């Protein structure tokens, strides 16, 4: 009976360790630069967005750089409320223009060098949602 209990305890410990290590492995792979392209407004040229992420301990930080409107310089915005839990990534981007504020909430799952998920926002009082997939870029040395 005691041997059975010991085996269950050891097996449980190994399982917990494996889950912890796999979560940490996903955490460690989030650092880097990710890009994705979305269609331009009103049939305009596609827009390429660049997201940089850095994990320092348990704090996730980063910037989202988007092309400027009408050929203007790209704008870089610090991400807010960034979280990483295993392979789940989430953050917000708050843009301000003409006295208005717009928040986009990004969520996704990190797998195979990409983050795939949803972008949620509100437009004219109506919730909006669209898919996004950002692919990790190779480090340039």
Note every long-range contact of 29-34, with CB atoms under 8 Å and residues 24 or more positions apart, other chains counting.
29/110, 30/55, 30/60, 30/84, 30/89, 30/110, 31/55, 32/136, 32/137, 32/139, 33/136, 33/137, 34/114, 34/115, 34/134, 34/135, 34/136, 34/137
- Tens of pLDDT, residue by residue over 49-70, are 999 999 999 999 999 999 877 6
* Domains of the chain from N-terminus onward: 2-136 (2.40.128)
Between these two residues, 52 and 16, which has the higher pLDDT value? 52
């Amino acid at each position: 009976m005691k041997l059975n209990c010991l085996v269950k305890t050891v097996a449980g410990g190994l399982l917990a360790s494996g889950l912890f290590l796999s979560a940490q492995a996903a955490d460690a792979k989030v650092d880097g630069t990710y890009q994705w392209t979305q269609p331009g407004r009103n049939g305009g040229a596609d827009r390429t967005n660049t997201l940089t992420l850095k994990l320092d301990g348990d704090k996730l930080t980063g910037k989202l750089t988007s092309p400027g409107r009408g050929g203007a310089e790209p704008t870089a915005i610090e991400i807010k409320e960034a979280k990483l839990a295993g392979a789940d990534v989430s953050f917000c981007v708050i843009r301000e223009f003409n006295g208005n504020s717009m928040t986009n909430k990004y969520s996704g799952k990190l797998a195979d060098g990409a983050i795939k998920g949803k972008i949620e926002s509100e437009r004219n009082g109506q919730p909006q949602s669209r898919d996004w997939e950002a692919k990790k870029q190779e480090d340039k040395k």
